Amino acid sequence: MEIRILGCSGGIGAGRRTTSFLIDHDILLDAGSGVGDLTLDEMVNIRHIFLSHSHLDHTHAIPLVVDSVFDHIAAPILIHALPETIHALQAHIFNGVIWPDFTRLPHPERPVLRFETMRPGENITLGERRFEMIPVNHIVPTVGYRVTSPSGVFAFSGDTTTNDTFWAALNEGACLDLLVVEAAFPNSESELCRLARHYCPDMLAADLVKLRHRPRICLTHAKPGAEDKIFQETRTLLAGYDVGHLTGGERFTV
């Protein structure tokens, strides 16, 4: 299983793309601005999109991808998400005002987009890859995912702050090879983290002791300009772990 980091920033600016990961050639995990770096042929190959939550930095590429490829695909792209996330997209994006409702276009019987409700604890198997939805703690209903294949296991925290559910679910698995986890603000912004329900390095380090696995750890979702500080603070706190900071463009095989 290959994971390609299309976007991993908590904001935009030169060289920064918001959260989106391409798994193999056909699945997106979140759909932020990083999706825009795919070629048209690569977009045509996307068959499934798993969403962590409704916030724009994780979803805003969906309307543009669908509009770009709708006349090149024979079957609808499937969006897997919480019911609350799907409702938000239907009410605020695909509403005929912000964007056309592609769940009814080009024809109600032959749409190019379809929403599939998924709930925490459920699994979806696509080929040899299994996606498990795990609840986390953010300002809107949000989930992380564990993705299991015969070659390895990858997990993504989504946007979250201190919680038990994500770590308990990961501990139920036999192994974990790669963990992509958010750290949005430096420790000096800990109060903002609590209000916005994100991790800072101190809070992440306190939660990571709950995890019984020792995966490779990659930080994501840092706010622009704070990336180096967040990484240095986290690396100091997690001196015994293999910790890196995503910048975009990385490829992992697990």
* Tokens describing residue 19: 């959260």
Q: Read off the pLDDT of residues 18-29 as tens digits, 9 standing for 90 and up.
A: 999 999 999 999
Task: Look at the pTM and tell me if it is higher than 0.85.
Answer: yes
pLDDT at 107: 87
pLDDT at 120: 97
Beta strand 2-7 with 251-253 is antiparallel
Q: Read off the pLDDT of residues 40-53 as tens digits, 9 standing for 90 and up.
A: 999 999 999 999 99
Q: Read off the pLDDT of residues 71-114 as tens digits, 9 standing for 90 and up.
A: 999 899 999 999 999 999 999 999 999 999 999 998 888 899 99
Q: Read off the pLDDT of residues 144-171 as tens digits, 9 standing for 90 and up.
A: 999 999 999 999 999 999 999 999 999 9
CATH numbers and ranges of domains, the chain: 2-253 (3.60.15.10)
Alpha carbons 204 and 4: distance in angstroms, whole number: 24
Alpha carbons 62 and 91: distance in angstroms, whole number: 15
Alpha carbons 97 and 65: distance in angstroms, whole number: 18
Q: What is the mean pLDDT of residues 54-83?
A: 96
Mean pLDDT of the chain: 97
Q: How far is CA 145 from CA 82, 130, 141, 194, in A?
A: 12, 10, 14, 22
